[in-house]
Structure 1
Amino acid sequence: MHIQIVGLHAPNAPRLRELLGPGHEVEALQAFPASGDIRADVVIGNSINADEAARLQCRLVHVPGAGSEQIALSSLPSGATVCNVHGHEVPIAEFTLHAILEHVLQLWQYPARLDADAWAAAYANRAQHDEADGKTVAILGFGHIGQEIARRARACGMHVIAVTRSGKQGAAELAHEYVAVSALDEVLARVQVLVICCPLDDGTRGLIGARQLALLPSQALLINVARAEVVDEQALYEALRDQRLGRAVLDVWYQYPKKGQPPVSPSRWPLHELPNVRATPHISAITPALLDRRYRFMAGNIERLQKGQPLLNVIHQAA
């Protein structure tokens, strides 16, 4: 089978070759050709525009992650199947728990080097820090990621509110409350932490705007490990700048660098300049174990395609 890995994941072509073994051609491409048909049995990539999708002649488009919002699904040729892959929930949950504990422990207020010169003053001026225990966290989106976050938050004694589309009651061992997204406003005033881990779609884009941010307590922590656009960009900046929102840990951004284009800031607003923002470059899921899990899954799906077996994690079937 002929497999093309395109864009940011192209360097992982050797990993996939090793997993698939002989009988498969794995081609690494920095970008699709500018014109002409794009022929392969399988295309792996997380960004395919409408023009590229229309020129595809393939059986399987495999997204090397969970989100498919950058795939022009409606332009794909008839018969093409689109699958995604998870495996990122554990590192993202650990990242999120670290962000919560960092927020309550506030270790940044102590000297980086506790030597003889700093020791006396640091000891004399010790400030109280807070505790995660007893705090309330609302988790917006309660899929693979949200549930792993909930497990860790509950282990720290936190009260967990799962915010889902339907609000349907789920496992009691995961969340203390299940609330529909339509009732989100009623939840925000009583949480100390809001974690955003929902998909980006027409229903969630801009879901957290100025009004929702104003409902949060002034010392609340917002963590976004989903997609930046779930939170209104300007409203977030102004709430943090004016200290109407305590802190934010942002691992996802509104603008991303693109090869061959001028450098861009991660946001159109200077979020990175604010002292109450912890900015990370979309790293929450990146671990060696994640890549191993994901590529083993994709290799398995490619083998299923070759054998005519049902594919796993099908998210779209082009008509």
Structure 2
Amino acid sequence: MLIKIVGLHAPNAPRLRALLGADHVVQALDAFPAQGEIHADVVIANAIDADVAARLRCRLVHVPGAGAEQIALAALPAGTTVCNVHGHEVPIAEFTLHAILEHCLQLWQYPARLDAEAFAQTYAARPQHGEAAGRSLAIVGFGHIGQEIARRARAFGMQVLAVTRNGRPHDLADESVAVAALDRVLPRADVLVLACPLDEGTRGLVGAPQLALLPAGALLVNVARAEVVDEQALYEALQSQRLGRAALDVWYQYPRKGQPPVAPSRLPLHALPNVRATPHISAITPALLARRYGFMADNIARLAQAQPLRNVIHPAP
């Protein structure tokens, strides 16, 4: 079988070759060709616009992550199946709990040095810090990621409020509400974590009215997609310190090969003192890559053997 791995994930082609063996050809492409049909058995990419999608001649498009909002599903030719990959929930949950603990402990208050000269003064003036225990955590999106975050938060004694499409009760949540009732839980959310997919129902879900409902000094952690939060409203809430702090790992603009450099936001969000800005790294660990490519290799083997595929998010029409 011919597999083309395109764009950001192309450097991982050797990993996939080693997993698949000599019966499969894995080609790494920096970008899709600008014109003409694109033939392969499998295409691995996290972004496929409508023009490229219409020119694909493949059986399987495999997204190497969970989010498929950058795949023009409606433009794919008949006979094309789309699958995604989970397995990134563990590092994202750990990243999220680190952000929560950092917010509560505020270790940046403490001196960089603690020697004989500084010890007496800093010991006498040492500040208090907060606790995660007893705080309320609202998690928007309670799939693989949201549930892993909830498991860890409950271990720290936090109250978990799950915000889902249907509001169905869940064993890992102290309370569950539908996303339509988000405003009802925000005044109780010391921490708001966004872990939902980006679609037309969640784009701009958190705007100025929602941010104003959060308790003063609350923490926002976004490990979903930046566009779930209104960019201008987020900047203004943080700049005014009405929102206490934000840990942002997803952004409104990303570097693109061959294009001029861009900042992560059209506003200087990354420069605010109450923002922990990271370059979309919450999921990236060696263990994740092993899980991710192991899963895709298994699905490619299933395709070759005409077996049912796993994680189908767009069945072939």
Q: Tell me the TM-score range normalised by the shorter chain.
A: over 0.9
Query: Equivalent residue for 1:81?
Result: 81
CA distance in 1: counterparts of 2:191 and 2:95, whole angstroms: 14
Query: Equivalent residue for 1:274?
Result: 272
Q: Give the letter for the 1:76 counterpart.
A: L
Among residues 271, 288, 291, which one is paired with 2:289 in the alignment? Answer: 291
Distance apart, 1:120 and its partner CA: 2.0
CA distance in 1: counterparts of 2:269 and 2:59, whole angstroms: 42
Query: Equivalent residue for 1:180?
Result: 178
CA distance in 2: counterparts of 1:187 and 1:118, whole angstroms: 44
CA distance in 2: counterparts of 1:318 and 1:233, whole angstroms: 36
Q: Give the letter for the 1:246 counterpart.
A: G
CA distance in 2: counterparts of 1:318 and 1:260, whole angstroms: 33
- Aligned-residue RMSD, C-alpha: 0.7
Distance apart, 1:117 and its partner CA: 3.0
CA distance in 2: counterparts of 1:299 and 1:273, whole angstroms: 41
Query: Equivalent residue for 2:260?
Result: 262
Q: Residue deviations 1:1-23, cap 9 Å, x none? A: 00000001001000000001111
Query: Equivalent residue for 1:168?
Result: 168
Distance apart, 1:116 and its partner CA: 2.5
CA distance in 2: counterparts of 1:60 and 1:118, whole angstroms: 62
Query: Equivalent residue for 2:158?
Result: 158
Among residues 220, 245, 248, which one is paired with 1:247 in the alignment? Answer: 245
Q: Residue deviations 1:243-279, cap 9 Å, x none? A: 1110000000000000000000100111112111110
Return 5+ residue gaps in structure 1 as ranges: none
The 5 Å alignment of 1:1-319 reads 1-171=1-171, 174-319=172-317
Q: Give the letter for the 1:42 counterpart.
A: V
Q: Give the letter for the 2:186 counterpart.
A: L
CA distance in 2: counterparts of 1:53 and 1:304, whole angstroms: 23
SS in 2 for 1:147: helix
CA contact (8 A) 1:76 1:318 kept: no
SS in 2 for 1:134: coil
Distance apart, 1:191 and its partner CA: 1.3
Q: Residue deviations 1:178-217, cap 9 Å, x none? A: 1111111110001100000000000000000000000001
Distance apart, 1:113 and its partner CA: 2.2
CA distance in 1: counterparts of 2:51 and 2:181, whole angstroms: 40
TM-score by length of 1: 0.98
Distance apart, 1:42 and its partner CA: 0.3
Distance apart, 1:318 and its partner CA: 4.1
CA contact (8 A) 1:74 1:318 kept: no
Q: Give the letter for the 2:249 counterpart.
A: D
CA contact (8 A) 1:234 1:269 kept: yes
CA distance in 1: counterparts of 2:159 and 2:136, whole angstroms: 5
CA contact (8 A) 1:255 1:267 kept: yes
Distance apart, 1:115 and its partner CA: 2.0
TM-score by length of 2: 0.99
CA distance in 2: counterparts of 1:153 and 1:114, whole angstroms: 31
Q: Residue deviations 1:287-311, cap 9 Å, x none? A: 0000000100000000000000010
CA distance in 2: counterparts of 1:120 and 1:87, whole angstroms: 48
CA contact (8 A) 1:73 1:318 kept: no
Q: Give the letter for the 1:239 counterpart.
A: A
SS in 1 for 2:183: helix
Aligned length: 317
Distance apart, 1:140 and its partner CA: 0.5
